[in-house]
Chains A and B, each alone.
Chain A
Amino acid sequence: GENVEQHPSTLSVQEGDSAVIKCTYSDSASNYFPWYKQELGKRPQLIIDIRSNVGEKKDQRIAVTLNKTAKHFSLHITETQPEDSAVYFCAARFTGGGNKLTFGTGTQLKVEL
């Protein structure tokens, strides 16, 4: 089955700096890669996603890049703010798995003042 690895597990940055979270996946047939943000005790919320026919996608301060050859994708947050502090999960959907997502282990991002 699909395996998704996520690094780092914790990340602390100063307000205004950039944060980068990386994920690798095992199944080369994976075709959809969403990123979710989860605040403590709350639901995961989709913040950005990318499909396998695209190499990069940007939405204001958030961007995701995908390298299909290397089977890895990354989340980039620029000009971080305290409200960006949360746990971020990457996920991958592989072809033939129906609509199932396999999640990474999560990254606790802390933006310090």
Chain B
Amino acid sequence: GAVVSQHPSRVICKSGTSVKIECRSLDFQATTMFWYRQFPKKSLMLMATSNEGSKATYEQGVEKDKFLINHASLTLSTLTVTSAHPEDSSFYICSASQGQTDTDTQYFGPGTRLTVL
């Protein structure tokens, strides 16, 4: 149980285009989903918290107009990187939890490797 998928696993795009990444909880309903960014050999940096049916909460320094997050259902959240540039190249990972309490486990997706040319 507690399986989270992400699609696509890898994407290469041209500078200036937009890329959408999907995060799905396959066998549970995820009230909350999180989007992280991870640079090579670095830790996970939280970008935003996504709650179903409401606006995402972005971390300080993360541009909400550049990283659009939608959590339209209890099993799907999407991250759209708009007008992507080479510096946006990174490993993007989502996680999902069933509730909003302080002790709910986060389960991670397999990640999406984004390369912007």
Q: Which residues of B contact A (CB under 8 A)?
A: 4, 32, 34, 41-44, 46, 49, 57, 93, 97, 99-111, 113
Cα A43 to Cα B104 with chains together (Å): 18
Contacts of B102 in A (CB 8 A): 31-32, 93, 95, 97-99
Cα A103 to Cα B34 with chains together (Å): 13
How far, in Å, is A62 (CB) from chain B's closest CB? 16
Cα A41 to Cα B110 with chains together (Å): 8
Of the candidates B42, B101, B111, which one forms a contact with A99 in the assembled complex, judged by CB atoms under 8 Å apart?
B101
The listed residue with most A CB atoms (<10 A of its CB), out of B43, B49, B113, is B43
Given A44-B44, A89-B43, A106-B42, A100 contacting B111 (CB threshold 8 A): no
How far, in Å, is B30 (CB) from chain A's closest CB? 11
Whether A43 contacts B110 by the Cβ 8 Å rule is: yes
How far, in Å, is A70 (CB) from chain B's closest CB? 21
- Chain A interface residue count, CB cutoff 8 Å, equals 26
* A101 is an interface residue with CB less than 8 A from chain B: yes
Whether A103 contacts B106 by the Cβ 8 Å rule is: no
How far, in Å, is A37 (CB) from chain B's closest CB? 11
Cα A68 to Cα B46 with chains together (Å): 25
Cα A51 to Cα B104 with chains together (Å): 11
Nearest 4 A/B pairs, CB to CB: A43-B108, A43-B110, A32-B103, A103-B44
